[in-house]
Amino acid sequence: MRPTFLIALLLLLLVEACSVAEDPQSRLAEAGQLDLSGWNFVSQGTVALDGEWEFYWSQLLTPEEIAGQAASPQYQSVPALWTSYGDGMPVKGYATYRLQVSLPEDEQVLALLHIGQGSSSRLWVDGELVVSDGDVGTGKGEIVRSGRPQIIYLAAQGQTMELVFQVSNFSHRSPGFRASLLLGEADELTASLHKNSVFESVYMSLLLGLALYHFFLYSQRRSQIISLWFACLCLLAGIRLGVTGNDMLASLLPFLNWEITFRLEYITFFLSMPSLALLMRSIYPDDLDRWFLRLTLSVALAYSLFVLISSTLVASYTVPSYQIILLLEVVYFVYFLLRIFWLKRQGRYFVGAATLVGLLGLVSEILSFNGLLPFMASAPVGMVGFVFVQAAYLATHYSSSFRKVEDLSARLEQNLHELEESEAKYRGIFEESNDVIFVADKTGRIVDISPSCEDLLGLTPDEVKGNETNVYASASKQDRSRFARRMGRDEMVREFEVGLTHRDGRKIRVVLNASTRLDKHGKVIGIQGTVRDISDRIQAQQQRERADELELIASTDPLTGAHTRRYFDDVVAREMARSARNNSPLALVILDIDHFKATNDNHGHLAGDKVLVALADLCSRHIRSTDIFCRFGGEEFILLMPDTSLEDAIQKTESLRRLVAAKPLVEFNGIEIAATFSAGVAVWNGEEDIEELIARGDQGLYRAKEGGRNCCMSGEAQAA
């Protein structure tokens, strides 16, 4: 399976799982009244009962008691935390909310979906108590609430429906009416809730099943530590998925009360990153730093212990600080992924795709939790994607290991047979090979080596034989350790690059291929392999890299990091040809910093250079990857925008201009220096040459300068 297709499939799975229910419509209530008399729930969909509800602070009122109230109520927004209402409202407390809804007169079977608030609550509909979730009172009581979604079917039609909602909070840092009540057609709401439950049940069952399976694999072969950590990660993801969302695990195990599921939710969240780190360390022991593993595990265990021994209210304050730590750990994991791709580690596509999906789930949940995403995201769902890709990788890993064992066994058996049949033929190949062929015993002592070792190392076979080390004796200690680990793990090494030292002191680079030697009983008696000199190939590669580096230097402005005029001249002809071939627009923008000479005169050329660098950096970060941004000379820049019309080019240039002008670009010697630019825009007409196109861009720039600067104008028409 191609890595790009695998990543796309997993991201689609994540999006589907995160959006199994359609977004409800919004008809905001005003002053405790919501008019839905003209609403058709079948054709127009579900409605979130958001907006201004009547609000009675520090009062737990029944519908009858509210009817007897003489004072005018307050009105507050729903859903929201009551700590956001102002006036220093405390976390601990209790309140009553009330809303009157005008329903349509046609006979529609309606229902309410109560998602759960995280605080104790009671809900009356038309004077009837329909939801009682936890101990609602004026002080902390027994925490017995479930927090699971509930469907309330409505019988009343064609009249005003009264909703009275009591909330009390003494056990969590987020109090109030936190989640919308959804009103809609009964079958639609029931199907939506059922669909969510089915998704979560399937995912949870698969995760827990994978955990048990890999625990069993580890019990059968303790050397496969990767199975243990993968099983732990599956177990954490399955438990967390079961205690979030629809709380499926608590539905299956009634003894799991709210306090237990609360602590399970937090602890599985804390332990997810160290479990991932342990798994990655078992796969790539050389690439994930030990200090990161120890630090991540210590922090997670400390947070988990604190959640276990503290009250739920105090424990709920741990999440924001841990989210910051988690984001820092995500940054390290991005570095780790780049490292294994840079070093071309085996299985990097599977591991990269899996880790990326898992990290996206964690980060999206954090952003969603803090209101930075327009939809609710779930880290457990992202972890489901991670687990499935990682399971596919482990399956291929085990299969590959079995194939290696089979291939190695067959190859060694064949080699032994051939050696027994034709010692003379073997000796001819052994002595005439350009590659160094060696045979060593279990201690690493060379027992036989081809004569070509003298050309490679400057040592005769007799000088090498009996040496109390192996053929790469002059290699570094780190390379010898890496070789030993790989031989111990895979029983064979392919294309192992290592540095050796010639007798005359010259450094040479070689590629080592080796495998274990077995006797007729399958017992390891040593290793055998070949060594090939690749110094010339390495030198040629270095020369190519140097040429590429020089080419990059020539195409990059040394001050601003933008492309050079030379690079622009090379690429513009290609873009014009592509534009003509595809019949697509090609826009050109010329930018010139306003009053740049005054900046140099007033603050010095160093300050002017900083302005150039800052403007180039800001523009480069806010253009598309297909756009070409170049320094044209002095304080003038040019921007080439493929597939961009005149209107779009002006709009995008205006956005850049506002970003630059919004605040001072740099601070120099304690002085903040602001800058603006003027710009001219032109679109290639398909026939003119580049000089004519630039001339029209200059014409727009001239108009912008004449028009007062700090603006963008077309080279053909009026100002933007």
Residues annotated as catalytic are 635
**The amino acid at 609:** D
In contact, 572 and 564? CB cutoff 8 Å: no
Which SS3 state, helix, strand or coil, does residue 308 take? helix
Token representation of residue 543: 């020369």
Q: Which amino acid is at 164?
A: V
Contact 99, 49 (CB under 8 A): yes
Residue 501, amino acid? T
Query: How remote is the C-alpha of 19 from its chain's centroid?
Result: 18
> Where do the DSSP E strands lie in 475-596?
492-501, 507-518, 524-533, 586-593
Tokens (6 digits) for 399: 């299969």
Distance of CA 322 to the CA centre of its chain: 17
Buried b (16+ CB within 10 A) or exposed e, 201-234: bebbebbbebbeebbebbeeeeebebbbbbbbbb
The DSSP output letter for 119 is S
Cβ–Cβ under 8 Å, residues 620 and 562: yes
CA–CA gap between residue 580 and residue 574 (Å, rounded): 10
CA proximity to 233, closest of 393, 388, 350, 369: 388
Q: How far apart are CA 50 and CA 182, in angstroms?
A: 9
Give the integer Cα–Cα distance in Å for 19 and 246.
Answer: 14
| Alpha carbons 400 and 408: distance in angstroms, whole number | 12
**Cβ-contact 544, 448 below 8 angstroms:** no
The single-letter code of the amino acid at 324 is: I
Q: Centre a 10 Å sphere on the Cβ of residue 5 and count the other Cβ atoms it contains.
A: 10
Distance CA 77, CA 177 (A): 9
CA 15, 16, 18, 23: dihedral to nearest 10 degrees? 110
Helices vs. strands in the chain: H and E counts, helices first: 22, 26
Q: How far is CA 407 from CA 122, 411, 495, 530, in A?
A: 68, 6, 17, 18
* For helices 225-243 and 379-421, angle between their N-to-C axes, nearest 10 degrees: 160
How many Å apart are CA 61 and CA 82, to the nearest integer? 17
3-state secondary structure of 94: strand
10 Å CB burial of residue 146 (0-12, 13-18, 19+) is middle
Structure tokens at 71: 């004072």
Cross-strand partners of 128: 125
